[in-house]
């Protein structure tokens, strides 16, 4: 498989142990994370060559972040160094009716203040096959929308497959800002990933008959949304994750791939959640893996859904599942029997 | 809101980590707790001024207990110091069919051997609006039944609203002792809290048509019990929590408020339990908060039930929920989605 | 109750904390375990005299293993010392769709290289009433099949009740090897324990109408299998555990005892799993306890099923349940209410 | 004792456990700290009323910081809320020849971007007796030098004793900036604290005969420096801490107070370091406590030196020593015998 | 070696991790301890048969205490069960100039309220060779002075060697009470252990020329004290431990045995302290081991001193040293080189 | 700098936390280590390209070991996979008079059973500049002495500098075996590292006037030994580390480099030990770094000694020191002052 290049911020995640709330915590568990970084670490763990393009400060904490990437095998040769700080956020895990809570402190990060000269896209994309970014990257502002556009153009010119996860974050930009910026970038995107809210929030695309009270779309509604996106932005593959949050502890999870005019739904999994953070990123990684390995559309969405189901049974942000584990779940073994 | 005064023992709680049994534990997690203290720390966390009246020994462990109260903002100016020891108990958390287990070592605590002179109720109630105690306080014996009665009389004379949680503990006193003592105190009580067993155990009040086999009351049965209590003891508000223990891991939880002759039931929550200890105390805190803030009876019982639902998704004894969190659950968002 | 003698390897179990995967672990929780050792520690915790016959190296880690046995009260007077190493395995706990995973490193253990002279069966069985071993012991190879046979003959000659748990492990030997060896040993066995797969794997005994697709037997199918085993090998009591793995987090659990031509089914428990490892061993311990205490066949299978249900709500391998806890669950209290 | 008011940033400190380096850490121990906050928490622990004036963001992490202050009893009524973030730093503890290392991430903190309107000094100083700040506060830039000056003027006008610890931090400002700003503030200072380097770095004051090679001053050199500072800035009390760093694990520690033209040296302690961070702050707290309690100059410097000696035998930043503990060490009991 | 019987309270010890103070602790490390119990666990670890005679409540915490004794191999057959509670204490470890601190909560323990009928000394001493108790046992009051006397008489009548460690605890009784009670018991004692203060505190025996200022005895002074004790109470062996507390982190440690009119001094060890609690108990265990194994007086005191030196390099209360480890240190290898 | 290739076993190290003994441990800290691997991880951390040649089993634990190497940046492309198990050892840290203790379980490791075909030396050494191995590699037996010889020949033929650390382990082979094998390999060695005992144990080379009683060589003695080795085996650089073990907590540490007939001694460091394991490996890494960077002989030995001094102030096996940290210590700053 050719190298997958990701472009995004890479951060320190600090969370209390288990289900402790911030007010009860005496320690923070250290983890390094980022939407694009998580896609790459998951892919690397599956044996795929990857490169993360980001910017980090020159200090010991950033060295730990880089060490984490290297441990998974993610290439770090194109990381720029400089700026003030590594972005970070504090995450407290919810349970049952209590939601998880995230306190962001990512403003002023080295990545958010990066400059065009920090990255040599010609060299970065040399020999690469895939480019992945999420809506968070341009949302960080500064020069990032322009740099992101430059990267897309360069990737397109080299015949690289471009995937994008809309990943709308309302605390980073407004819907209007998101729509304006993302529409420029979508021109270059081959594979678009969205969850049930992103399409409406960012692209203002809605199903005709949405049940306005519950906000839940029917299967037909999701197909309609995917179809509209595909058509309007001329995107070959549109993938939508479908999460039913019964509670913070129990979710139903499935996904839809709309490809070449045909919708493909995955199985639905009832997940007893261990850690749902990173679920979307593992879906992206599964999707890229499946596409790159030439799976059929139905197999592709099954693989991506199963991959992200397994992620949510694993602590922290990275999907520590091998292709064999994922294929086993696709094949039907979700019984959780002991593997000896 | 005016100050809420609580009167009760404050103890050290020691529990093994996670689901470990005592025989497996190498460490105890340290926590400080007490039925009335928990009501106050929950209220303080919601921004309400509070004062805990108790007695603790003069040593470093009691200093830690006081530090915990101060951290939440509970007033500690009226705590008496002296006596032999801080009461303590060991708690092991159950799961599924395995019940939680508590080993008490609270005998001879400084509070249980306090004297009338330890507390200056006139000064304590100066400027206060609410007085809360539970049946555990008089159950500790010694001078406590008399001191508790003195406090009630003084509070009543100052127009302070008095709330009491029956909280029957069979290892502290007999039903007969409890009935005799509590009936004297109930004369002064404005808001009475009970769970499904307390009314029968302490007050010998039963529903006419209880299903004797299962011991479970129907909704009508609960209303009847509340009505009888309200009438017999002339108590304006009677609140009953309704717990259905499916297992140590899964409970259904709701509550009833009987006020001015009308019953108000809350929604029922299916809770995946993180820690059920302190559930009743958080209900009391929610009830006092709602009453003090002038919520309608229906809103009051919804607020108290949602507050105590959230508590049970939180480790240890205190409900670390803000009013906004509770109102959100009352408003219907129990989906546990991540708050960014 | 007379002494229960067990014969098997005793190992070091290393597992990451909580639900962490190996790749995330910075620490291993230390535990000592073995199929027969777990039966004995469970029995000792219930107050039964026991003796573990095994072989361990002369080093500090083996001393810790012995200390663990002694802590429970298991007799260690007949343990042989020598050889290269204590066997060990690494265990990672699954959740929801993710299976638990075990990495074995038990080859070359002192026990697997033991010799006949290491054990003086005449002395070992002096005053004993019960002898328990599992299929793992002969599966370890070397001199073990012969030593095991010798032990069975000696036990039989002394009128000791012999129980055996088939416990087939495909990574230790083939089905053919297992069948050949186990059939020789079954000649001496009075109580045989098997799970749903062992009978087919080791003894090649199948129900007539098994649903081949799902692999699940009906109640009738289990009865038929037990009956065939009982008849073919002339075994008075055949016990089968029935696990329905809904996921790694949720299992249904019950058991069947086929005794004197009559099948007895236990209640079925829906278990929210804390740790399922050791479930089978705790079933064996419960069975031996019940038989030794003269319970009726129905009470026996209820006791064994309830014992092993409780084990699965407890961390690690040993069932830290007292007979009173187990009888309480048999009696119907699975509500998990707090025991004060 | 009258209230001690402190003015400075209050931060999150994250450090690996024990002697682990950043690259080895999987967890960070959480602590809240700041030069002025540490002085106040130490004083509060000794029973002195205090108030911390600072600015923090409106989020859960800042709530934890405030909870920490409240636990010690530090007044938090004058804390302003707003701005982007709580400052933080990462600290790794050294040992023997390996130095401790601090990675700062305090830029853009809410405090560093505070405005004059955030603080009502008239109200803050109402009833106060002491005002303490360090050179770090103006070093943070923005409006802080002016606000600090305003606070000094107001304090002076109310007859409040002003103490200042030079605390030069070369990564926050240059020597020139420090000198210019601090000289304006020193006009109002009654008690100045400095370590051996601050006087040279910030005030450009040197002893005549410094051994240029070793950089170590003789006792006479220190007296000369103190005398010059006292004279030039007309400061009644100048206190200098004298640390001899033998290694990260072993330090000799003593102090000098120059008061009314007379030098007073404390005893020297050979400290086996547990955590040296916060040593200077605990010295400041000891000094203020001693002055406020009317100790003689010799007793004052002995108390401050002993207090800060004890701090360095305690983990983290706050001196958890009671006056009785400190007086015991002053009185000569440094033998570390068990207190029963 | 014949069985060593010990008689004393066995308690729960709770201490913060590492050097944390109580006010910083979120967890307590669990340990079970007692002066006589520690002597026995140390002896059991060296392979000596032992029996602890004590009384504990019937609860899960006491079961853990008993499990700890069994793990070491200490006999628990003569432990009585009943009473209210297990005694406990909280211990915070000092460092450098900061002393360790113990907060006792042992009042009302089951042992302190035991009765003569709880123990059948005739049966207890059957086959025993040694009886050990400390001054703490009678100091606990109630029936203990009488029961202790009864035990001594019975032991003496059976020719059992009786050893006693004075172990004066000023918070349990006065010097006068101690002297009166202990003198009655010393009549039966063959081996007396004391530290430098006990002789003066309990027996009012002093050296002629003590340096009153420093309180330190010369070697001659110690010999004189031992001689006086030996003569006055007709005790064949008097052993005194000599601790020089340089700080809580560094101690010099040696010991004197006065036997048959001749003094024998051990080597002196400079110890970098890991945990000094239990140092005296490990000295007692070493002394009993050496005497029972017929070592010469010089070898006996060297063995006991080396044993207790090693204990102080080990966490918690028990000396986890084998005779070979101790003989190696006696033989001169204190270099701490790695043992592979 | 050119790539440094190392050849040796890579193992799992399990140790109790802090100073706990095995018998007290409930957890093992996980670490991956090996004499050659430690040299490479230290070098990688200093920015040097490296490759570890070893063999590991195909399982999840080996994957963690490889992940650890990758995190540091060590090349893993030439690791062979197969065989039964990863070698492991248990390590308990000593203190003061108590020695550290290691229990090995490395027999039957995949590496110890490797075959010549597992490694393609031609490819491995392509572009490499340095080859490092220790005496442990041939000591593991099997095909390793021959494979090691083959590697040396190939390296020599490519002009690669070969360094070897004698590292005699008496539990792996006898002195005679070691001498016979090592002498064949020394023929190819350019840089030999030994500690004070290795020369005598392996090569039977002694100083003329050794003080036989103390076993300590004088400076002249060390020079004589180095000279003899250099001459006899025609080795250009002989480096000897000089450890004075005062206790497990305090060591003096220095080193000698004998090059081209001239002895160069480093400074001596008094180290307060955090973890001495890996001290020799970090010395090797420092030596290779210094030689490769063209430092003078005196600067080389100072760099290597300072590097290994710093390692011993760091937990676990790898020297997490940057060249700048090491040069700072060489330059004289061993005061351990805080680096801000």
Q: Where are the domains of chain D?
A: 3-330
What's the CA gap between B316 and B277, in Å, rounded?
Answer: 7
Q: Is the pLDDT of residue C48 over 50?
A: yes
d(CA E70, CA E52): 10
Q: Shortest CB distance from D60 goes to which of A61, A84, A103? A: A103
- C-beta separation of D202 from D168 below 8 A: yes
Q: Can you tell me the distance from the alpha carbon of C256 to that of C302, in angstroms, rounded to the nearest whole number?
A: 9
Q: Does D211 have pLDDT greater than 90?
A: no
Q: Which residues contact B300 (CB under 8 A, 6 or more apart)?
A: B257, B259, B264, B287, B290, B291
pTM of the predicted model as reported, rounded to 2 decimal places: 0.96
Q: What is the pLDDT of residue C338?
A: 81
Cβ contacts of A162 within 8 Å, gap of 6 or more: A130, A131, A132, A152, A155, A156, A188, A189, A190, A191
CB C300 within 8 A of CB C291: yes
Q: Counting one residue from A and one from D, how many pairs have CB atoms under 8 Å apart?
A: 67
pLDDT by position in tens, chain F (length 340): 899 999 999 999 999 999 999 999 999 999 999 999 999 999 999 999 999 999 999 999 999 999 999 999 999 999 999 999 999 999 999 999 999 999 999 999 999 999 999 999 999 999 999 999 999 999 999 999 999 999 999 999 999 999 999 999 999 999 999 999 999 999 999 999 998 788 889 999 988 765 544 556 688 999 999 999 999 999 999 999 999 989 999 999 999 999 999 999 999 999 999 999 999 999 999 999 999 999 999 999 999 999 999 999 999 999 999 999 999 999 987 777 788 7
Q: Are A2 and A242 in contact (CB under 8 A)?
A: no
- In degrees and rounded to multiples of 5, residue A18 shows phi and psi of 55, -130
Q: Which CATH superfamily hosts domain F3-330?
A: Ribokinase (3.40.1190.20)
Question: Does A67 touch chain D if contact means CB atoms closer than 8 Å?
Answer: yes
Mean pLDDT within C16-42: 97
Q: At what angle do helices E323-330 and E297-311 cross, to 10 degrees?
A: 110
What does the alpha-carbon distance between residue B280 and residue F239 come to, in Å, rounded to a whole number? Answer: 71
C-alpha–C-alpha distance, residues F113 and F107, integer Å:
9
Distance CA F242, CA F300 (A): 16
> pLDDT by residue (tens digit) across A108-158?
999 999 999 999 999 999 999 999 999 999 999 999 999 999 999 999 999
- Residue F126 CB neighbour total at 10 angstroms: 10
Q: What is the pLDDT of residues B109-133, one digit of tens each?
A: 999 999 999 999 999 999 999 999 9
Report the alpha-carbon distance of residue B278 to residue B257 in Å, rounded. 19
Give CA–CA dist A71/E113, Å, rounded: 60
In this structure, are strands B250-259 and B269-272 parallel, antiparallel, or unpaired?
antiparallel
Chain B residues touching residue E30 (CB < 8 angstroms): 25-28
Residues A155 and E248: their CA atoms lie apart, in Å, by 66
State whether A247 and B336 contact (CB < 8 Å): yes
Of B335-339, D88-92, D221-225, E59-63, give the lowest mean pLDDT range.
B335-339
Spatial separation of the C-alpha atoms in residues C322 and C319, rounded to whole Å? 9
Q: Encoding tokens for residue C219?
A: 């109640």
Instruction: State how far the Cα of F133 lies from the Cα of F124, in Å rounded to an integer.
Output: 14
Q: Does A282 touch chain C (CB under 8 A)?
A: no
| Residue in E267, E277, E269 with CA at minimum distance from that of residue E311 | E277
Instruction: Label residues C77-105 b or e (16+ Cβ within 10 Å = b).
Output: ebbbeebebbbbbbbbbbbbbbbbbbbbb
Residue C336, chain B, CB below 8 Å: the answer is yes
Alpha-carbon distance values, B174 to A324, B170, B181 (Å):
62, 6, 11
Closest CA to F8 of F117, F92, F125, F87: F87
Residues A241-293 pLDDT 10s:
999 989 999 999 999 999 999 999 999 999 999 999 999 999 999 999 999 99
F275 shares contact with chain E (CB less than 8 Å): no
| Residues in chain A within 8 Å Cβ distance of D20 | none
**Secondary-structure class of domain B3-238 per CATH:** alpha beta
Q: Under a CB-based contact definition with an 8 Å cutoff, are residues A315 and A332 in contact? A: no
Question: CA E142, CA F26: separation in Å to the nearest integer?
Answer: 38
Residues in F closer than 8 angstroms to E329, CB to CB, are 97
More confident residue, D262 or C214: D262
F34 in Cβ contact with C63 (< 8 Å) = no
Find the closest chain C residue to F15 by CA distance: C27
The verdict on D334 touching E (C-beta cutoff 8 Å) is yes
Q: Is E322 on the interface with C (CB under 8 A)?
A: no
C81 touches chain E (CB under 8 A): no
Contact C266, C239 (CB under 8 A): no
Hey, which chains touch A, using 3+ CB pairs under 8 Å?
B, C, D, F
Judge whether E225 and E209 are in contact, CB under 8 Å: no
pLDDT above 90: residue E154:
yes
CB contact D99 to A (< 8 Å): no
Q: Least CA distance to B309: which residue of chain A?
A: A97
Q: What is the pLDDT of residues B201-239, one digit of tens each?
A: 999 998 876 554 455 668 899 999 999 999 999 999 999
Smallest CA–CA distance, residue C301 to chain B, in Å, is 17
Residue F331 class from Cβ within 10 Å (0-12 exposed, 13-18 middle, 19+ buried)?
exposed
In terms of Cα–Cα distance, which of E56, E101, E102 is closest to E78?
Answer: E56
DSSP E242-292: EEEESSSSEEEEEEEEEETTEEEEPP-EEEE-S--TTHHHHHHHHHHHHHH
The encoded tokens of residue D148 equal: 């600090």
Helix (H) or strand (E) holding B241: strand B237-245
Instruction: Judge whether A340 is closer than 8 Å to chain C, CB to CB.
Output: yes
Q: Mutate which of C17, C97, C248 to test chain A, going by most A C-beta atoms within 10 A?
A: C97
Name chain C contacts of B104, Cβ cutoff 8 Å.
340
B313, B316, B333: best to mutate for the A interface, most A CBs within 10 A:
B313
Please tell me the predicted confidence (pLDDT) of residue F16: 97
Among residues E65, B26, F25, B20, the alpha carbon closest in space to that of C63 is found at F25
Q: Please name the fold of domain E3-329.
A: 3.40.1190
Question: Touching check for D272 and chain E: CB below 8 Å?
Answer: yes
Is B90's CB within 8 Å of E61's CB? Answer: yes
Does position C187 have pLDDT exceeding 80, yes or no?
A: yes
Name chain F contacts of D27, Cβ cutoff 8 Å.
none
Main-chain dihedrals φ then ψ at residue C203, nearest 5 degrees: -100, -5
Residues in chain D with CB shorter than 8 Å from the CB of A59 are 103
What letters, b where the CB count within 10 A reaches 16 and e where it falls short, cover C110-121? bbbbbeeebbeb
Q: Cβ of C67 under 8 Å from any chain E Cβ?
A: yes
As given in the structure block, the two tokens for residue A105 are: 């402190």
Q: Does D59 touch chain F (CB under 8 A)?
A: no
Measure the CA dihedral D244/D245/D249/D251, to 10°: 10
- Mean of the per-residue pLDDT values of chain E: 95
Instruction: Spell out the residues 6+ positions from residue E142 whose beta carbon is closer than 8 angstroms to its own.
Output: E112, E113, E114
Give per-residue pLDDT as tens, F176-218.
999 999 999 999 999 999 987 888 899 999 887 655 445 566 8
pLDDT band at D212 (very low <50, low <70, confident <90, very high): very low
Q: What whole-number distance in Å separates Cα of residue C79 and Cα of residue F94?
A: 30
CB contact under 8 A, A72 and F73: no
Q: Which residue of chain E comes nearest to C64, CA vs CA? A: E71
- Residue A340 three-state SS: coil
Interface B-D: count of C-beta contacts within 8 A: 14
pLDDT of residue B210: 59
Residues with Cβ within 8 Å of A297's Cβ and at least 6 positions away in sequence, in order, are A257, A259, A260, A262, A264
D94 touches chain F (CB under 8 A): yes
B neighbours by CB contacts (3+ pairs under 8 Å): A, C, D, E
Percent of chain C predicted with pLDDT > 70: 97
Helices (H), chain D: 35-45, 60-72, 121-124, 136-139, 144-157, 175-186, 198, 219-233, 279-292, 297-311, 323-330
CA dist., res. D213 & res. F227, Å (int):
38
Tell me the DSSP string of A163-232: EEE----TTTS-HHHHHHHHHHHHTT-SEEEEETTHIIIII----TT--TTT-PPPHHHHHHHHHHHHHH
Would the pLDDT of C99 be above 70?
A: yes
* Other Cβ atoms closer than 10 A to D123: 10
pLDDT in tens, B147-200: 999 999 999 999 999 999 999 999 999 999 999 999 999 999 999 999 878 888
């Amino acid at each position: 498989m050719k190298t997958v290049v990701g472009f995004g911020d890479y951060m320190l995640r600090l969370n209390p142990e288990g289900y402790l709330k911030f007010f009860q915590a005496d320690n923070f568990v250290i983890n390094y994370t980022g939407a694009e970084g998580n896609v790459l670490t998951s892919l690397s763990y599956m044996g795929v060559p990857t490169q993360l393009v980001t910017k980090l400060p020159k200090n010991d904490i950033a060295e730990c972040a880089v060490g984490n990437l290297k441990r998974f095998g993610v290439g770090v040769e194109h990381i720029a160094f400089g700026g003030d700080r590594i972005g970070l956020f504090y995450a407290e895990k919810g349970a049952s009716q209590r939601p998880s809570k995230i306190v962001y402190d990512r403003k002023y990060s080295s990545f958010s203040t990066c400059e065009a000269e920090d990255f040599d896209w010609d060299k970065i994309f040399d020999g690469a096959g895939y480019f992945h970014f999420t809506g968070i990257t341009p949302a960080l502002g500064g020069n990032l929308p322009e740099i992101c556009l430059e990267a897309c153009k360069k990737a397109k010119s080299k015949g690289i497959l471009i995937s994008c996860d809309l990943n709308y974050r309302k605390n980073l930009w407004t819907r209007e800002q998101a729509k304006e910026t993302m529409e420029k970038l979508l021109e270059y995107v081959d594979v678009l990933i969205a969850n049930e809210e992103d399409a409406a929030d960012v692209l203002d695309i809605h199903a005709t008959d949405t049940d306005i009270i519950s906000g839940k779309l029917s299967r037909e509604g999701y197909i309609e949304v995917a179809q509209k996106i595909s058509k309007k932005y001329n995107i070959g593959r549109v993938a939508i994750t479908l999460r039913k949050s019964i509670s913070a502890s129990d979710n139903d999870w499935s996904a839809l791939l709309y490809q070449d005019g045909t919708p493909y739904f995955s199985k639905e999994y009832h997940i007893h959640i261990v850690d749902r953070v990173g679920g979307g990123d593992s879906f992206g990684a599964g999707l890229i893996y499946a596409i790159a390995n030439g799976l059929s559309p139905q197999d592709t969405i099954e693989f991506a859904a199963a991959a992200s189901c397994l992620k949510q049974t694993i602590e922290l942000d990275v999907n520590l599942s091998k292709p064999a584990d994922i294929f086993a779940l696709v094949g039907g073994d979700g019984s959780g029997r002991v593997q000896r």
